[in-house]
Amino acid sequence: MKDNQEAPLSILAVDDNPTSLRLLESMLERNNFKIRTAVNGVEAMAVLNEFHEDIDILLLDRMMPEMDGIEVCNAMKADDKFRNIPIIMQTAADNPEEISEGIAAGVFYYLTKPLSAEMLLSIVEAAGKQIRRHKQLRIEMEKRKISFGLVQILKCTFRTLDEAEGLSIFLANYFDDPDRTLTGISELLVNAVEHGNLGISYEKKSSLVAEKSWQKEVTKRLDDPQYADRQVAVIFERKEKACYIQITDCGDGFDWKQYMEVDPSRAMHNHGRGIAMANMLCFNKLIYNDKGNQVTGVIETTVNEDKDDFWD
């Protein structure tokens, strides 16, 4: 699912230091981004409230007077209008405690000061890829809206990334809040293809992304006889108190525990947030089997006091 010509991303940059703000503005404008600016958190929230439909990414300083970066994140987290805007947090030092606090507030992208243009653009492009994919999937989802509420169980299989994105649009509609669930389903289905069936490790993807050869490698492996027959199996089930999606790939599995939240040591990386985002933002519960090649996402439809009463 590709855009023929992508419109420039719109970024709200927030920093109480005028020199830093002008530097950010200059670096981003030179690379075809549209920039709005704010000098503190209070002003940032005013801009977000007025222009949230036109803002793709928030580039936010951690330490500011009046309303700091974490307070801005918490305010955004409490308002559905802002929940899909990726936040890139600037911190003065690589401080794991500060990064952990930011992750709890919904921040998945980080930059440390002083900024380098290369790192800034790498992280902005990663956040841009996330928001562009979400917007495109959401457009497609709106086009295909029909009544899905009567379906109790559904089984399907797929093998490619394009099929993963198409299927995520379709399956999101079965949940009560499709917009909330869409990104999580998409991330899990894509993960099942590239890391599961195609066996691309986190470290291998890091090098492929750096070399800008990731898509080429995915295409190559899809045609490789070693992987060509592998399918991802998906089951959707609606029960009285929750909806479930179970995704099973044919890979060797992985140590999923280290990816359920963003590890501060990986916070500056330009990929590797998908499972954490699905777990923290999209599902009430994410359950992996021991091997790591099967995951079940749970969305509660009513208040469920028995948190352990989930699909086996």
**pLDDT tens digit string along 199-242?**
999 999 999 988 889 999 999 999 999 999 999 999 999 998 99
Position 278 confidence tier, pLDDT thresholds 50, 70, 90: very high
Same domain, 173 and 216: yes
Res. 1: pLDDT tops 60: no
Same domain, 269 and 156: yes
CATH code where residue 129 lies: 3.40.50.2300
Q: Which domain holds residue 296?
A: 144-300
Residues 49-85 pLDDT 10s: 999 889 999 999 988 888 999 999 999 988 988 988 9
Last residue of a domain, one of 88, 113, 134: 134
Report how far residue 276's alpha carbon sits from residue 257's, in angstroms, rounded to the nearest whole number. Answer: 10
Same domain, 155 and 241: yes
Same domain, 287 and 230: yes
Contacts of 262 (CB under 8 A, 6+ apart): 99, 103, 108, 272, 273, 276
- Evaluated on CA atoms 221, 290, 188, 248, the torsion sign reads positive
Q: In this predicted structure, what is the pLDDT of residue 114? A: 78
Q: In this predicted structure, what is the pLDDT of residue 145? A: 61
Same domain, 114 and 221: no
Q: In this structure, what token pair is assigned to residue 24? A: 């950010």
Comparing CA positions, the residue from 199, 212, 208, 180 lying closest to residue 280 is 180
Residues 149-186 pLDDT 10s: 677 899 999 999 999 999 998 899 888 888 889 989 99
The structural domain count of the chain equals: 2
Residue 30 lies in a domain: yes
Report how far residue 132's alpha carbon sits from residue 140's, in angstroms, rounded to the nearest whole number. Answer: 12
Name the phi and psi angles at 285, rounded to 5. Answer: -155, 140
What is the residue-averaged pLDDT of the chain?
87
Residues 252-269 pLDDT 10s: 999 999 999 887 777 778
Q: Is the pTM of the predicted complex or chain greater than 0.75? A: no
Comparing CA positions, the residue from 81, 75, 130 lying closest to residue 108 is 130
Q: In this predicted structure, what is the pLDDT of residue 298? A: 96
